[in-house]
Amino acid sequence: MTKDRFYFLRAFRSNLKTGFSVDLTTNCPNNCVYCYTQQRRGTGIYEREIVDELYYGGEILHLTQEEVDRLNRSGGLRLFSGGDCPRVENYNEIPEWALQELTHIKGDADEKRLSLKAFTKNIIFANWAVRHNIRCQLSIDSFGTGFPLEQALSLRLQYPHLVRIRTLVENPTRIAYWGERIDVDILTLYHGRNLEKYNLQTMPWYRSKAFAQAAHDYPTKVCCQTGKCETCPVKCGYTT
């Protein structure tokens, strides 16, 4: 797919880790203290400008069969890599324009037999997604900004083929706590800047002893063991 000057303003784009990804906004409503997207702002490195609404241009239909197969081997095309599903101000609805985009994306994905996996903290979206047979990674955390745990557990019970619970692991002392929980499927080890105020300690997959130990202890749960979804053994928990 060629890049032009509107490339960074498009919903669908290539992604170093996941192959491709889709974002309907880069102006994430969640305001997590550990947000990687916000940490990159002002650095010029993998930085995305803030855009409220991004539109899907039918790119899925132009994927080659090889690209579709590769994405399916990665657990599906990732929805929301630099943000979350947009929401209207009262938080109780998905905006109409975003619903139209999501319906378009799902229709094209079905036509290409492409799985979708959405990373989200948005309850309204998750309930919509599971009813439309879209896989969901429900992101929880210890900071009060994640998907509410009780509702995540309930959705996981109702839709065991679609829903996985993913948690942020804040620092090495928390690896075993999260790793031993049988109702938590995927561990994302924090890999942003050290933030002492929040007890956030970076554990990048490529040069951290803590990460290597976690991957050894919880090989079916630790995200990013190879740095690429295509070669990942975990596949967001969608291995069957």
Binding residues for ligand SF4, per CB under 6 A?
74-75, 186, 223-224, 229, 232, 234-236
Q: Which run of H or E residues covers position 236?
A: none
For residue 223, the minimal CB distance to ligand SF4 (Å) is 3
Nearer to ligand SF4, 56 or 80 (CB): 80
- 192 contact partners, CB below 8 Å, separation of at least 6: 34, 35, 36, 39, 200, 202
The full DSSP string for 9-33 is GBSEEEETTTEEEE-S-SS-SS--T
Nearer to ligand SF4, 94 or 119 (CB): 119
Distance in angstroms (rounded) separating the CA atoms of residues 165 and 188: 11
Nearer to ligand SF4, 74 or 122 (CB): 74
Nearer to ligand SF4, 96 or 182 (CB): 182
For residue 75, the minimal CB distance to ligand SF4 (Å) is 5
Q: Which residue has the CB atom at the shortest distance from ligand SF4?
A: 232
For residue 61, the minimal CB distance to ligand SF4 (Å) is 23
Where are the strands (E) in 51-134, listed by range?
A: 77-79, 116-120
For residue 102, the minimal CB distance to ligand SF4 (Å) is 20
Distance in angstroms (rounded) separating the CA atoms of residues 120 and 117: 10
